[in-house]
Structure 1
């Protein structure tokens, strides 16, 4: 049963374009972890963390990334950082900048660059710039947060670790993609390399 579900999820995230496949995998990881975030906050600050459940409103957007990528590769890839920025700004309003939730703009900025090809830089410029725009011009005008707590230090630690883990995941998936690409280049350029790789597998 678990293998069947895992295979279905892998198939849903898969895409002929490596960057779209990367976006799909990251989006599904984010979506699958979102329900745990409110639980962590409840553990830290108690019932005052009820606004955290509102952050799940963004989950459908992350889940839609692979489906949209199948219809339009660029739009699907762009949806991931856009959903990330939108969710981060919303969470700043919910928890306040003092919670450290703005740190999630960092992986959004990273995704705004690695998910697009060099010939798409002009089209993706707004996507790449949006995390900086949100940080400089939007977050400061959101007013008082919905959730009030005195334990911001633990929230900053939680968000900092979450951001570090997400950036590490992005790096790991990008590294895997590059390694796969290197193998493809070798097997294409060196006669007999394809046979050698198949045997070693």
Structure 2
């Protein structure tokens, strides 16, 4: 129990940042990275016995883990790495599993993250990264080549459900996280206004 508390504390310190948007991006990055080891298990339990393609998704894990470290040196680059890693991982998974897996649905949370992690004056980065997510879907769809494995129709249906649910949960988590960021910002602004008027 002590070891778990220490690890949790270390992760919180690693994700911590004075900029609330950067900290939110760090939390999302670490959440995705921590969930990746379980993806082969989900695949085995809910889809099929052959989970070989899922093992290659670990190539993207170091990029997600690097987001907080990069953000400490350059906040914009750190935030940009998060959707970039997500887009790259989605392209990789679409090649590994094929478009029948519906894994391309993960372009949606990638675009949403890109639009939320930057401020209004940084919109160029948002639009460029969100455009990359949509562009990858439009330009690469059907062009990934032969997938690593071929599942049955029922297995593809189960994999599509798994990916759809996962992408929806990730998008929902991101929305709630940034809702809290906005609420804190509004609360700080209100408190400053109250102090000024007092």
Structure 1 length-normalised TM:
0.91
Asked if the contact 1:38–1:52 (Cα under 8 Å) also holds between the matched residues in 2, the reply is yes
2:127 aligned residue: 125
Give the alignment of 1:56-75 within 5 angstroms.
56-75=58-77
Structure 2 contact 47–158 (Cα < 8 Å) conserved:
no
Where structure 2 has 5 or more consecutive residues not aligned to the other structure, the ranges are none
Q: CA deviation at 1:189?
A: 1.3
Q: Which residue number in structure 2 is paired with residue 183 of structure 1? A: 187
**Is the contact between residue 49 and residue 147 of structure 1 (CA under 8 Å) also seen in structure 2?**
no
2:162 counterpart residue number: 158
How far residue 43 of structure 1 moved from its aligned partner, in angstroms, is 2.1
Q: Which residue of 1 aligns with 2:15?
A: 13
Structure 1: gaps of 5 or more residues: 194-201
Distance 1:47 1:4, change over 3 A: same
Question: Secondary structure of the residue that 2:159 maps to in structure 1?
Answer: helix
Match of 1:28 among 30, 43, 58: 30
Report if aligned partners of 2:47, 2:156 keep a CA contact under 8 Å in 1. no
Q: What residue in structure 2 maps to residue 87 of structure 1?
A: 89
2:149 to 143, 147, 153: 147
Which string of whole-angstrom CA distances, capped at 9 and with x for unpartnered residues, describes residues 123-142 of structure 1? 44321211111101123211
Distance 2:12 2:186 in 1: 22
In structure 2, the partner of 1:137 is 139
TM-score, normalised relative to structure 2? 0.93
* d(CA) in 2 for partners of 1:11, 1:70: 12
Paired residues in the alignment total 194
Shift of 1:170: 0.3
Q: Deviations over 1:95-118 (max 9, x none)?
A: 011011001000001011111111
* The 10-residue stretch of structure 1 (3-12 or 147-156) with the greater mean CA deviation from structure 2: 3-12
Cα RMSD over matched residues?
A: 1.7
How far apart in 1 are the matches of 2:14 and 2:52?
A: 32
* Shift in Å, 1:180: 1.1
